[in-house]
Amino acid sequence: MAEKVLELLSAKRGHFLLESGHHGDFWLDLEGLCHQPHRLRAMAAELAKAISEWQVDAVCAPLVEGAFVGLFVALDLNVDFTYSERFRRPWHEGLFPAGYRIPAALRERVRGRRVAIVNDVISAGSAVCGTFEDLESCGANVVGISALLVLGTAIKEYSSAKAVPLISMAEAPNHLWAPTECPLCAKGVALVDVEDFRNSFSA
């Protein structure tokens, strides 16, 4: 399954500043994930089957690409769907400067309901952790986290701390470092902000 997901994406090796604030040596351009929707649809169906035992009332997925996966999964499970939007927390320094929140019109609709978080690819878990925290603030009962592909171990540690199951179709190793501990910085390798890298394609 990891190969199937990676076939839809552009993978880059280098020295990247990631959304979570971590530095990494691997980055996936997720915009290509939905270019062939029939292939994504098939992978989402496998994920839906795997999490069907959670008996959820709704699926919540972070924008942008994760929400497309989540919508397919919700269709297969015949449950409600909602999403979370990214926002920058200017008062939050260090790691995880971006937060995620459920739109105002949908917040009451998840209160007291069993919700599964679905994403495309999880590495540091910035989007998933932010979504989890905001769902809890809405009064939702988050019953599990799922993704097509999990990179590294960060989200496993988070799901364990939250005492919820984690299901993924595939896993792959990944390197993440806090900026002060990054060996690539120590070697003087130029750092690329993934936001700038992504925007360079649309400039």
d(CA 121, CA 91): 27
Which of these, 173, 170, 118, 174, lies nearest to 2 by C-alpha position?
170
Q: Report whether CATH 3.20.20.70 matches the domain 2-199.
A: no
Domain ranges of the chain: 2-199
Element (H, E) at 170: strand 166-172
- The tens place of each residue's pLDDT in the chain, 203 residues long, gives 656 666 666 778 889 888 778 898 888 776 767 677 888 888 899 999 999 999 999 999 999 888 999 999 999 999 999 999 988 766 556 666 678 999 999 999 999 999 999 999 898 888 999 999 999 999 999 999 999 999 889 999 999 999 999 999 888 888 888 888 999 999 999 998 877 655 554 44
d(CA 191, CA 24): 10
d(CA 109, CA 80): 9
Residue 59 three-state SS: strand
